[in-house]
Amino acid sequence: MSLEILRAEELSFSFGGEEVLRGASCRVTAGDYVGIVGPNGSGKSTLIRAALGLVRPSAGSIALFGVPLPQFRQWHRIGYLPQRLKLFNPHFPGTVEEIVRLGLLAGLQAARRQERDEAVALGRVFELMGIAPIRQRLIGELSGGQQQRVLLARALVGEPELLILDEPTTALDPETRDNFYDLLQQLNRERGVTVVLVTHDTGSIGRYASRLLYLDKRVVFDGTFEDFCQSEEMTGYFGDHSQHLICQRH
């Protein structure tokens, strides 16, 4: 039986009197690659932020690695990539290496980590992400795609078991976006990293994720992309034409 990484049960959340989530439940097991999709305002980012303890749901429960969220302390097991444009000032005078090194500060083990171990971890992630040649460049000098690789390297440098990404491809051109998705798929398949990715791009993530979780303030669908494309219920929800566009069967 696969290790349960994340379990959310009957989550509800309201903000400013407006309902954002209603009775949302989901389960993520080791090795999953889950794409969380849905329209703007559907509760995608709220679900992720609740899972990370950044907001408190009005009802429901969350467990990480089998531990109820209030008691969970092993945050070094999780890598998190927030929405890029909200993350940092592009004029921040930090180099690529300094930004990535920040990822080593997470977790209780950081204080005991040896300098040699840090160098090995940094070297490994620079090679994996293909950013070794730019490690001394300022983050603000890089293209959007390069910045995303750097921020993903920061999330990965501590070798997390679970990687959570919130709209990571916003403002990326289609080629850079597809390269980014390819890289995440490689991490999932070859390195066994469990991936949970929030996106509005249902069609693109469907080609990569092993599971699709469609939210519209509640869980509308949870299953494979192929099942999504063949679902009569989803045809009724979207309409035949829109579903075919999403599934790229036009």
36-88 per-position pLDDT tens digit? 998 888 899 999 999 999 999 999 999 999 999 989 989 889 999 887 555 55
Which of the residues in the chain have pLDDT under 50? 107-108, 110-111, 250
Query: Which strand (E) or helix (H) includes residue 198?
Result: strand 194-198
4-246 homologous superfamily? P-loop containing nucleotide triphosphate hydrolases (3.40.50.300)
* pTM summary value: 0.86
Judge whether 178 and 145 are in contact, CB under 8 Å: no
pLDDT of residue 139: 87
In this structure, which long-range contacts are made by residues 115-124, counting pairs with CB atoms below 8 Å and at least 24 apart in sequence? Answer: 121/157, 121/158, 121/159, 122/97, 122/157
pLDDT of residue 237: 82
Query: Which strand (E) or helix (H) includes residue 12?
Result: strand 4-15
Give me the amino acid identity at 76: H
Judge whether 2 and 198 are in contact, CB under 8 Å: no
